[in-house]
Amino acid sequence: AQSVTQLDSHVSVSEGTPVLLRCNYSSSYSPSLFWYVQHPNKGLQLLLKYTSAATLVKGINGFEAEFKKSETSFHLTKPSAHMSDAAEYFCVVSDLGRDDKIIFGKGTRLHILP
Amino acid sequence: EAEVAQSPRYKITEKSQAVAFWCDPISGHATLYWYRQILGQGPELLVQFQDESVVDDSQLPKDRFSAERLKGVDSTLKIQPAELGDSAMYLCASSHPTVLSYTFGSGTRLTVV
For B16-40, how does the pLDDT look when each residue is reduced to its tens digit (9 = 90+)?
A: 999 999 999 999 899 999 999 998 8
What phi, psi does B84 have (nearest 5°)?
-55, -35
Model pLDDT, residue A52: 76
For A66-93, how does the pLDDT look when each residue is reduced to its tens digit (9 = 90+)?
A: 999 999 999 999 999 999 999 999 999 9
- Rounded distance, CA B54 to CA B65, Å? 14
Nearest neighbour of A43 by CB, restricted to B31, B33, B106:
B106
Check residues A13 and A100 and name the one with the higher pLDDT. A13
3-state secondary structure of A80: coil
> In the predicted model, is pLDDT for residue B72 greater than 90?
no
DSSP A53: S
User: In whole numbers, what is the pLDDT of chain B averaged over residues?
Assistant: 92
DSSP B39: T
Q: Is A54 on the interface with B (CB under 8 A)?
A: no
Q: Which residues of B touch A105 (CB under 8 A)?
A: 42
What phi, psi does A85 have (nearest 5°)?
-80, -10
Bridge partners, residue B94, by sequence: B32, B103
Q: Is the dihedral of CA B89, B50, A107, B61 positive or negative?
A: positive
